[in-house]
């Protein structure tokens, strides 16, 4: 099946720094990718829809200036958490796919100290 | 997308069939039933989907009632590696590569030795 990768798998950073997370579709092209966030013992929450060549669409309550999304090619979307704070510590997951199913990346565990 | 209701947790003995129910009484005629699972600290994994007919693949079987208001995911011979949170999601299959998923709380399946 199709593969979606994420890098890094785990990152620890200091409060106030920015962190970039990459999401790649390895064997297919994706004009749209999705970014989710998952806090401990909770379900996945959609943060934003990443659109190749255009601006991302953010869900209500998600700050677009804090969570910068760039989808510069058909195989790569990046999520940058700017000025990270401890409350941004979470599991970030991306997905990409086609008409009938989505393929998820393995996730990135972000810990902000 | 139609709302789904799943039991919060279930237990199953290793080697036995695991039957996970899902209620989706407000499902529309063009909405599919999808099942994904998430093993701890990993990205979700697609299992199976169906519209109105029962479906089977190498991972599981999906039984959809005739009125389509509920469905059951069947893992025929559960193993310890099937311990995960199972999500039942109902949505329209879009014609583009964009296919956002709304995750509920899912069912935590624990397979016991």
Decide the pairing of beta strands A76-81 and A67-73. Answer: antiparallel
Q: Are A31 and B96 in contact (CB < 8 Å)?
A: yes
The verdict on A101 touching B (C-beta cutoff 8 Å) is: yes
* Residue A101: pLDDT band with limits 50, 70, 90: confident
pLDDT tens per residue across span A38-93: 999 999 999 999 988 889 999 999 999 999 999 989 999 999 999 999 999 999 99
Residue B38 has pLDDT above 80, yes or no: yes
Contact list, B42 vs chain A (CB under 8 Å): 106-107
Option in A43, A46, A103 nearest B100 (CB): A46
Contact list, B96 vs chain A (CB under 8 Å): 31-32, 99
Option in B46, B100, B104 nearest A34 (CB): B100
Determine which helix (DSSP H) or strand (DSSP E) holds A22, and give its type and residue range: strand A19-25
Residue B89: which of B73, B65, B111 has the closest Cα? B73
pLDDT tens per residue across span B70-112: 999 999 999 999 999 999 999 886 655 456 788 999 999 999 9
The verdict on A45 touching B (C-beta cutoff 8 Å) is: yes
pLDDT tens per residue across span A4-41: 999 999 999 999 999 999 999 998 888 899 999 999 99
DSSP string, A52-93: TTS--EEPTT--TTTEEEEEEETTEEEEEE-S--GGG-EEEE
Residue A34: which of B101, B105, B35 has the closest Cα? B101
Decide the pairing of beta strands B84-92 and B31-38. Answer: antiparallel
CA distance A15 to chain B (A): 23
Classified as helix, coil or strand, B22 is: strand
Option in B49, B93, B103 nearest A43 (CB): B103
Contact list, B99 vs chain A (CB under 8 Å): 32, 97-102
How confident is the model at residue A27, as a pLDDT?
A: 86
Give the Å distances, CA to CA, from A2 to A26, A61, A95, A101, B78.
Answer: 7, 31, 11, 10, 25
Determine which helix (DSSP H) or strand (DSSP E) holds B33, and give its type and residue range: strand B31-38
Q: Which residues pair with B27 in a beta bridge?
A: none
How confident is the model at residue A30, as a pLDDT?
A: 87
Half-sphere exposure (CA, 13 Å, Cβ side) for A82?
Answer: 8
Q: Is the CB of residue B92 less than 8 Å from the CB of residue B31?
A: yes
Q: Are B106 and A31 in contact (CB < 8 Å)?
A: no
Q: Is the CB of residue B3 less than 8 Å from the CB of residue B101?
A: no
């Amino acid at each position: 099946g199709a593969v979606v990768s994420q890098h890094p798998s785990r990152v620890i950073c200091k409060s106030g720094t920015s962190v970039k997370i990459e999401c790649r579709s390895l064997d297919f092209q994706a004009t749209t990718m999705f970014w989710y966030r998952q806090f401990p013992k909770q379900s996945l929450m959609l943060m934003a829809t990443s659109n190749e060549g255009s601006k991302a669409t953010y869900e209500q309550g998600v700050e677009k200036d804090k969570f910068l999304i760039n989808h510069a090619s058909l195989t790569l979307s990046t999520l940058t958490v700017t000025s990270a704070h401890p409350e941004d510590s979470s599991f970030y997951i991306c997905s990409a796919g086609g008409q009938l199913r989505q393929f998820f990346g393995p996730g990135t565990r972000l810990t902000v100290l | 997308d139609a709302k789904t209701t799943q039991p919060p947790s279930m237990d199953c003995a290793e080697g036995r069939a695991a039957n996970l129910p899902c209620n989706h009484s407000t499902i529309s005629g063009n909405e599919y039933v999808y099942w994904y699972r998430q093993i701890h600290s990993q990205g979700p994994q697609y299992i199976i989907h169906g519209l109105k007919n029962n479906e089977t693949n190498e991972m599981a079987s999906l039984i959809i009632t005739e009125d389509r208001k509920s469905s059951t995911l069947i893992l025929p011979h559960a193993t310890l590696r099937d311990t995960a949170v199972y999500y039942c999601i109902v949505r329209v299959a879009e014609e583009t590569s964009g296919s956002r998923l709304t995750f509920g709380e899912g069912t935590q399946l624990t397979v016991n030795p």
